[in-house]
Chain A
Amino acid sequence: MEFCGGHTVTILKHGIRQLLPPTIEMLSGPGCPVCVTDNADLDKAIALAQIPGVILTTFGDMLKVPGSRSSLQKVKADGADVRIVYSTMDALQIARGNPDKRVVFLGIGFETTAPTIAASVLQAEQEGISNYYALSLHKLCPPVIKALLDSGEVRLDGLICPGHVSAIIGSRPWEFIARDYSIPCVVSGFEPLDVLQCVDMLVAQIENGRSEVEIAYRRGVRPEGNRQALEIMDRVFETCPAQWRGMGLVAHSGLRFKAEFERFDAEIAFEINPGPVVEPKGCICGDILRGVNTPQDCQLFAKVCTPESPVGPCMVSSEGSCAAYYLYGAAGE
């Protein structure tokens, strides 16, 4: 299984599945932050954007994701102030330039992204920016892999570990998978040859009866990760249970603000009333994220659900399995 949606895109875009012998089956994992964001959390973000005086800043991927009744794109069209930013640095700039508004950053992402949001909070504190908040919907990868393996729904012979998550956390947090579940793990880069090299290393481990954590992406990942980024993340956030689309509630897999940074927490600063959660009918994104089904198993895939008119989040995000299958021609397989 490739955990990361970025790897799924590389594999499909470059026809790696077709290059590999039939004995090697690649399975997409839950590694797409947009896709795993639960509808209840999406609804919160959409409700936040509709509060008068709020500027909701977000990465572009989130705009079209449908919640229970609407999307950020739809409420933006209806007049909500939703702005796409490339970085939390841009969100801070918007906060500086709009002191009479309250600027909320929609904090979606894994360990790669969470330190950048934590850094923006520390910067806001340092500069005394008092109208900046974040909605922390961050998620942590190793706990969800553990939950997936413990569920027993999928049996994996090897795991391609996410390269840029590992750039932050290092390779050590994956060691329990090799040790406790006897599954070989290799941290991979995102070039097509990186992925092939990673598959080669996984096959070598299986053939030699080994299960270890190896790093194929040595130019970007050290075993200990990025200590400074981990410290910054740890200063601002603490772990909490988080709701994952498809996986349900997973212990220690989310990040919430520590008490001393509570004033930046959008969940505390605003009264958010998103209403009851409605799941999209017929959508099997949850099963696809667990690796139980592939996009072709979904009755809506490429018929009702397309990138132009997505029903589920896996068709929205550029690294969602459904979007990758749709774009790179695996639809007819």
Chain B
Amino acid sequence: MCLAIPALIKSIEGKEAEVEIGGIGRRASLWLTPEAKVGDYVLLHTGYAINIVDQEEAEETLRLLEEMAKLAEEEESEIH
């Protein structure tokens, strides 16, 4: 139930935003993240942006995860 997915804010009107998730647009409430700006990624949970995704941390995590995947591949090819 605590599912939340990253969504990109396209426009903001009052406390509501138009967001994009994988190319699909929908409305999101910014009641819980009033500081969110157009261009931010937010974590969307039941129609509410519950947090702003930290872009730098997201990129750092992506780099770490890619590194882990690469290590796993190398280990795999060592086994075979």
Q: Give the B-binding residues of A (Cβ under 8 A).
A: 4-6, 31-34, 59, 61, 86-90, 108-110, 112-113, 115-116, 119, 122-123, 162-165, 167-168, 189-191, 193-194, 196-197, 216-222, 226, 228-229, 232, 317, 319
Contacts and interface: CB of A to CB of B under 8 A. Distances in A.
5 nearest CB pairs, A to B: A87-B47, A219-B58, A119-B31, A218-B57, A164-B2
Nearest to B43: A220
A219 B54 contact: yes
B61 A219 contact: yes
Interface string B38-52: 000001011110110
16 contacts: A4-B2, A31-B2, A88-B46, A90-B47, A109-B1, A113-B1, A115-B50, A119-B32, A164-B3, A168-B50, A190-B3, A218-B60, A219-B54, A220-B4, A220-B43, A222-B51
Nearest to B51: A167
Contacts, number: 117
B4 A164 contact: yes
B21 interface: no
Contacts of B64: 197
Nearest to B58: A219
A13 to B, nearest CB: 13
Contact of B46 (A86, A216, A232): A86
A3 B65 CA distance: 22
B1 A167 contact: no
Contacts of A119: 29, 31-32, 48
B34 interface: yes
